[in-house]
Structure 1
Amino acid sequence: MATVTANLLAALLPCPCVLCGMPGREALCPPCRAQFPADGAPRCPVCADPLPPGSHGVACGACVTRRPAFDATVAAVPYALPWDRLVLELKFGGQLAHARLFAELLAGAVRAAPALGAPALLCPVPLGTGRLAERGFNQALEIARPLARLLGVRVAPRLAERVQETSAQSRLHGGRRRANVAHVFAVPDRALVEGRHIGIVDDVMSSGQTLGELAAVFKRHGAARVTNLVFARTPPHSQRVS
């Protein structure tokens, strides 16, 4: 009955495609989905940086040389047209409906990597109180909620807390990015983390400093494994988005 009701509502209230505006029943119409498929390029399984063709399953040189605190990263799409526009519309334009599409594409990327294993808990990257009050929502949480339903796992919005306000990572580079996120996260309840596989959810991964710091905090509190689940991954030469 619920499925029939949902189909009826979809027919009566068509959803315009977020890319071309075509009326339909899905946020991404079939032509746009075919034109802009989810990212299938080989990527480092640890940090999701692009790899040369034929390099599936191997870690990049940077991760081999200096292993980050997180164990794996899944990215649905590259941070490039048209996805970058949608990210900005969600983050700064309040287009919360985009989060459901991001979750759908990200869930597909997770299912395409069965060896990864589903996390026990999803933790959206927390915002500081000032940034949250200014924006009115946490885009990572808006993605994490539908993603948790699609993956059949639980989202834990307060698994970690941001205990210090920081500058936007997009305004910083190199060592200043690392210093900006050092010691800014805390885990209120170690028992929820210890021995578990934690999935960190965010809209965009750029340098990985924020995700690496949060992963390190989880590892210090006994997490068995930490996986980043991000909608978009910036290319190495254009890491300008926090």
Structure 2
Amino acid sequence: MSQRWSRWPRRALLACGGALLPCACALCGGAAGAPVCAACEGRFAAGGGVRCRCCANPLGEAEAGLACGACLAGAPAYDATVAAADYASPLDQLVLRLKFGGALALAPWCAGALRRAVLAAPGFALPELLCPVPLGPARLVERGYNQALEIARPLSSLLGIALYPRLALRPLDTPAQARLTPGERKKNMRHAFLVAPDMLAVVRGRHIGVVDDVMTSGHTLDALAATLKRFGAARVSNMVFARTPPH
């Protein structure tokens, strides 16, 4: 049996399991008709206030629509970022359940929250196509799915933007970013990505929306944006469910 098909039983069971169980809010445990109840959604996934238009870090009310000092001092390769929420308690546990616990039913809810944030972001231009941040081959086999792709699929339908699941490739497995220092994270992402050879014509001159579950230091998204632009992308905008606040 190929690795591709051996992953399907686990993925299918994980996806179907949630549909067979009574629906309770993943955050408060109360009854809900969705993975997260309306009250928790309004409290924890309402956009997080004013953010830097480039990296989505929080700003003061008077700075709405502006870039933060860090982005002005050293502009990243990406042009804009929209985040639906802060990566903080209790949403961080929800993201971890999606990322490592196979809670795939949470992905469409994350996509819905991200859609609302995208449409509400001042001056944000919708990209022409979507590209999920790819996983390395060994990590994909181990996990059985790519959480960024699981969010990107429903987001593509909600926004009416074409999804290219294999536009970007990650041919080598790099160490997990969470285990590295900020300096090591940037070095770790050098040369991590490629554009698929049959996607070169799709990238050239286009505005690409990169989808991911969490943005922390931004080094992964910066490296992917740099790769896309090196192969001809005109603009790269990040669309992430959660943004880790600066410490």
2:182 and 2:25 mapped to 1: Cα distance?
Answer: 38
Pairing 1:7-156 to 2, within 5 Å after superposition: 15-113=23-121, 115-156=123-164
Aligned Cα RMSD in Å?
Answer: 1.6
For residue 70 of structure 1, what is the amino acid of its counterpart? Answer: Y
1:14 touches 1:24 (CA, 8 Å); kept in 2?
A: no
Shift of 1:37: 4.3
Match of 1:7 in 2: none
Residue in structure 2 matching 1:170, options 178, 195, 204: 178
Match of 2:167 in 1: 159
The TM-score with structure 2 as length reference comes to: 0.87
* Count of residue correspondences: 226
User: Given the alignment of the two structures, is residue 233 of structure 1 paired with residue 233 of structure 2, yes or no?
Assistant: no
1:14 touches 1:25 (CA, 8 Å); kept in 2?
A: no
Unaligned runs of 5+ in 2: 1-19
Shift of 1:14: 5.9
For residue 56 of structure 1, what is the amino acid of its counterpart? Answer: A
Match of 2:8 in 1: none
1:196 and 1:136 mapped to 2: Cα distance?
Answer: 30
User: Given the alignment of the two structures, is residue 224 of structure 1 paired with residue 247 of structure 2, yes or no?
Assistant: no
CA change 1:100–1:182 in 2 (3 A) is same
2:180 and 2:74 mapped to 1: Cα distance?
Answer: 21
CA change 1:129–1:13 in 2 (3 A) is closer
For residue 219 of structure 2, what is the amino acid of its counterpart? Answer: Q
Shift of 1:177: 0.8
Match of 1:9 in 2: none
Moved more, 13-22 or 121-130: 13-22
What are the Cα deviations for residues 70-90 of structure 1, in whole angstroms up to 9, with x where unaligned?
000000000111110100111
Shift of 1:39: 2.3
Moved more, 51-60 or 100-109: 51-60
2:27 touches 2:91 (CA, 8 Å); kept in 1?
A: no
What are the Cα deviations for residues 107-156 of structure 1, in whole angstroms up to 9, with x where unaligned?
00001026212111111100011000111110000000011111111111
What are the Cα deviations for residues 27-55 of structure 1, in whole angstroms up to 9, with x where unaligned?
22222233334124111100011112321
What are the Cα deviations for residues 164-212 of structure 1, in whole angstroms up to 9, with x where unaligned?
2100000111221111110011112210101111011110000000100
For residue 134 of structure 1, what is the amino acid of its counterpart? Answer: E
2:45 touches 2:113 (CA, 8 Å); kept in 1?
A: no
